[in-house]
């Protein structure tokens, strides 16, 4: 019998008010039910927001260093349960065990970063233009934060939102992805065990339409942090904008790795294999395009096809497996449809190009790592996010051509260039339109203490990670202290 999970609302573990449920299944073995979860609705969201609003004054008045101690304890608890969490994550979303261990470690690192930030949250002291007057700024919590997270990083991405939101003194209504609710539940259990006030942290399972949009629409939710597709992000931005809510959007990508003719080809090969097929290509930073200089195009393609054909598919709990399943049947169909679209547009399937349904792939939603050659910049497979193990390869003649090709999509999240020419590297850093640029590294591999996000349709200008996310989850209050004992008028011509 599959384990039954619940929402956490107003300090209690509860079923959805409707009593309805949904199943969470293992994408590597669809017969395996990981758990049964509450199928919540607007009514459940209403209760969760009421709890978060009611707890706000108590939680915001906890000193930030004390809240930080709670984040530190949460990190310690994740360390103690790291392997358990990684195995649970692999079962519910499919990526290989080494990656889910890394996903869990990202949560640990983010917890410890939050611990340090609790004794910073810096303001500024600034000289006044008037005598006997003191000017400063302080950071303050905003209110109730609605946090909506995707399935591909079930620990890391929620940690990027939950730790800073709570550390800054906000209370939370958290809606995880329906494909990865078990890891989210474990995370909430850990935060509660660490000492987060029960009413301040609310977990509501369910779909985007029945839970996510009601969170965004709710007048008592003050800010929204969403990671997901650009299409959904636009809807959220439009809905939240009606009430002038603060909104952080981390959206899609069509990331590219450039390999110049002077690049280290062996290093570039390792980079693109990891960038394109790590997490089965299901990362917003995944390498979806490979831009090769014409002088090394044929040689590099031969190297890449040979290595790609040898990648082992299967259940991610097997340490020898290198590529797990895609998340579900719907995503498998989307990936396959894009491969067919590419072929119709004139691209050539060099390896892969179809679902894997035999051997270790039987019973799950697997797709062979796929390389499309002879792709042109105007093709859909060169412009649209696929979110699967499909790499489109484009040919260029110069650095300027490479950068122009890289910039020719509506997205701008991550980017990469392999070159031994320092001048070319610096020109790429300057001219590439992306929030992240790697020199001689793949497009994936963000570190938790650095800002994460992109430009164009990849987001709305905010950043997750590092110090930047604390700017989003806190308000700056400017304070003037006049101890002159008389009326002084600033910005009046007193001189």
Of 263, 209, 216, the residue nearest 240 (C-alpha): 216
Exactly one of 92, 99, 106, 284 is catalytic; name it.
284
Which residues, listed in sequence order, are joined to residue 334 by a DSSP beta bridge? Answer: none
> Tokens for 437?
């640029």
> Tokens for 71?
């984040």
Q: Is-catalytic flag, 356? A: no
Contact at 8 Å (CB) between 301 and 291?
no
Contact at 8 Å (CB) between 354 and 308?
no
Contact at 8 Å (CB) between 267 and 441?
no
CA dihedral sign of residues 162, 168, 169, 173: negative
CA distance 454 to 435: 4
- Cβ-based burial of 112 (10 A; exposed 0-12, middle 13-18, buried ≥19): buried
Q: What is the DSSP string of 228-239?
A: S-HHHHHHHHHH
Of 47, 53, 89, the residue nearest 211 (C-alpha): 47
Of 279, 286, 355, 287, the residue nearest 322 (C-alpha): 279
Of 210, 248, 221, 223, the residue nearest 51 (C-alpha): 221
Exactly one of 106, 250, 322, 385 is catalytic; name it.
250
> Tokens for 471?
């700017």
CA angle 150/439/226 to nearest 5° reads 15
Count CB neighbours of 2 within 10 A. 13
Q: Is-catalytic flag, 284? A: yes
CB neighbour list of residue 365: distance below 8 Å, 6 or more residues apart: 27, 28, 30, 94, 325, 326, 327, 328, 329, 331, 332, 355
In degrees to the nearest 10, what's the CA dihedral of 168, 174, 179, 185? Answer: 90
Number of H helices, E strands in the chain: 14, 23
> Which secondary structure element, helix H or strand E, spans residue 72, and what is its range?
helix 64-80
CA within 13 Å, CB half, 433: 17
Contact at 8 Å (CB) between 97 and 87?
yes
Count CB neighbours of 484 within 10 A. 10
> Which secondary structure element, helix H or strand E, spans residue 107, and what is its range?
helix 97-117
> What residues are annotated to the active site?
250, 284
């Amino acid at each position: 019998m599959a384990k039954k999970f619940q929402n956490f609302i107003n300090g209690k573990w509860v079923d959805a008010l409707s009593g309805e449920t949904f199943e969470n299944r293992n994408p590597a073995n669809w017969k395996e039910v990981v758990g049964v979860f509450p199928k919540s609705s607007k009514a459940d969201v209403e209760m969760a927001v009421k709890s978060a609003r009611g707890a706000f004054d108590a939680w915001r008045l906890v000193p930030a260093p004390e809240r930080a101690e709670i984040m530190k304890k949460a990190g310690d608890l994740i360390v103690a349960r790291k392997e358990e969490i990684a195995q649970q994550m692999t079962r519910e979303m499919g990526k290989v065990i080494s990656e889910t261990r890394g996903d869990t470690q990202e949560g640990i690192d983010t917890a410890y970063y939050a611990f340090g930030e609790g004794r910073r949250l810096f303001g500024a002291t600034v000289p006044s233009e008037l005598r006997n007057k003191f000017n400063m700024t302080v950071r303050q919590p905003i209110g109730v934060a609605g946090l909506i997270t995707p399935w591909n990083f079930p620990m890391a991405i929620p940690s990027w939102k939950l730790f800073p939101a709570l550390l800054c003194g906000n209370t939370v209504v958290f809606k995880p992805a329906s494909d990865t609710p078990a890891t989210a539940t474990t995370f909430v259990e850990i935060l509660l065990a660490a000492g987060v006030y029960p009413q301040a942290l609310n977990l509501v399972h369910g779909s985007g339409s029945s839970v996510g949009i009601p969170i965004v629409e709710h007048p008592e939710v003050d800010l929204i942090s969403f990671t997901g597709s650009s299409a959904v992000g636009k809807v959220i931005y439009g809905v939240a904008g009606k009430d002038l809510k603060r909104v952080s959007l981390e959206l899609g990508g069509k990331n590219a790795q450039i390999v110049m003719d002077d690049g280290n080809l062996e290093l570039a090969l390792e980079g693109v294999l990891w960038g394109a097929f790590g997490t089965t290509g299901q990362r917003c930073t995944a390498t979806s395009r490979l831009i090769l200089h014409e002088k090394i195009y044929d040689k590099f393609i031969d190297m890449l096809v040979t290595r790609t054909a040898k990648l082992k598919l299967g259940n991610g709990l097997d340490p020898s497996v290198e590529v797990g399943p895609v998340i579900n049947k719907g995503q498998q169909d989307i990936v396959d449809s894009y491969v067919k679209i590419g072929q119709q547009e004139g691209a050539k399937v060099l390896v892969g190009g179809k679902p894997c349904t035999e051997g270790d792939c039987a019973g799950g939603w697997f797709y062979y790592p796929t390389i499309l050659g002879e792709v042109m910049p105007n093709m859909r497979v060169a412009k649209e996010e696929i979110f699967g193990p499909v790499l489109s390869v484009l040919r260029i003649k110069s650095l300027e051509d490479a950068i122009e090709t890289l910039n020719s999509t509506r997205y701008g999240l991550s980017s990469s260039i392999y070159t031994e020419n320092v001048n070319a590297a610096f020109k790429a850093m300057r001219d590439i339109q992306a929030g992240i640029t790697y020199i001689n590294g793949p497009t994936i591999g963000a570190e938790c203490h650095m800002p994460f996000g992109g430009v164009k349709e990849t987001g709305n200008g905010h950043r997750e990670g590092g110090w930047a996310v604390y700017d989003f989850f806190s308000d700056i209050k400017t304070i003037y202290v006049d101890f002159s004992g008389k009326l002084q008028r600033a910005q009046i011509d007193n001189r």
